[in-house]
Homo-oligomer: A and B are copies of this chain.
């Protein structure tokens, strides 16, 4: 297989078309200000020579890269293993592609990688970054902020000071104004799920929470509490167990719950995987689902939710759309930054801090 041979340059195209480099450049970049017959000649020359612009040369002068970094921290964690990220990436990819941007994927595992990523971003290799921050104590988001790269976060960062972070004493504390992020309505979705259980007549509704160092877990817990407080005046703290978003964790939590309160008549699990574990323990314990205990999950990971026994009622979020939206927000911010507007605002401009996507309840057999 041949090495990449030297590609034709602008110069070559210009020679072939009998025009100057500037003219070719104009045609190649949108071509306004060039009379049609000439433009056509140039286009033909481009075609004949198979000319493709050298991006490096172009970036050198424009200081743009038409490339965006996607940073995913700790791919070991559950998140990367489930279809979640695949879908999100797909959404991001579609949007970037539609705007002729490339996707540079940065996966990190641990500290040394953080520095590497920060350096890369600070190095101005990409025009912006889409960052998935997962854990409360993750230093990466901070580093990235410091790198001064326009950024949109996936999932509410813990320092977002958003009002939906209902925990007193946290909101606003050390927070940044103007952080742009996209998330699904975790709290609202949880609300819907628990409401559904309550509407079914259930009163002893337990919650298996996710890892509470992730905002999604916290928000879902808050949504659960909203309803419980609303309906029952107060929620029995014994009905909540923290878990870790995994099936094994779900099993452990369910056992603990059953141990504490054998009279549970419903469970809202922080995600579908957790629900999977819970279902198994419920079955082992001789309880029928949904007759004895109704179960609702979160995520609607279809391959999982449809295959459980019974099929899982769960809260769906449009994951691909989240990805697409993140990319759109970033690109919009970038182009605004370029077009003057609020040059200093970059991606963190007008659109406001966070965009929350709606969720919906998918009813199957488990509740």
Interface residues of A in 40-97 (CB under 8 A from B): 50, 52-57, 59-60, 65, 67, 70, 75, 80-83, 85-87, 89-90, 93-94, 97
Question: Count of A residues near B, CB < 8 Å?
Answer: 67
A276: Cβ under 8 A from any B Cβ: yes
Report B-chain residues with C-beta under 8 Å of the C-beta of A200.
none
Picked from B52, B54, B124, B309, the residue with its CB within 8 Å of the CB of A7 is B124
**A103-144: contact bitstring with B at CB < 8 Å (1 yes, 0 no)?**
111110100010010011011110000000000000000000
Complex CA–CA separation, A273 to B304 (angstroms): 10
Per-residue CB proximity of A1-13 to B under 8 Å, as 1/0?
A: 1111101000000
Q: Is the CB of A75 within 8 A of B90?
A: yes
Q: Which of B80, B120, B347 contacts A86 (CB 8 A)?
A: B80
Is A163 on the interface with B (CB-CB < 8 A)?
A: no
Partner of A123, one of B55, B94, B276, B344: B55
Does residue A148 face the partner (Cβ distance < 8 Å to B)?
Answer: yes
Bound complex: CA of A145 vs CA of B120, how far in Å? 31
**17 pairs, A vs B, C-beta closer than 8 Å:** A1-B145, A1-B345, A1-B346, A3-B346, A52-B123, A53-B123, A54-B123, A55-B125, A56-B65, A57-B60, A81-B86, A85-B86, A93-B106, A94-B107, A103-B104, A103-B105, A280-B307
List residues of chain A with CB under 8 Å of any chain B CB: 1-5, 7, 50, 52-57, 59-60, 65, 67, 70, 75, 80-83, 85-87, 89-90, 93-94, 97, 102-107, 109, 113, 116, 119-120, 122-125, 145, 148-151, 178, 247, 273, 276, 280, 303, 306-307, 309, 337, 343-348
Listed from nearest, the 5 A-B pairs whose CB atoms lie closest are A52-B123, A56-B59, A93-B107, A56-B60, A81-B83
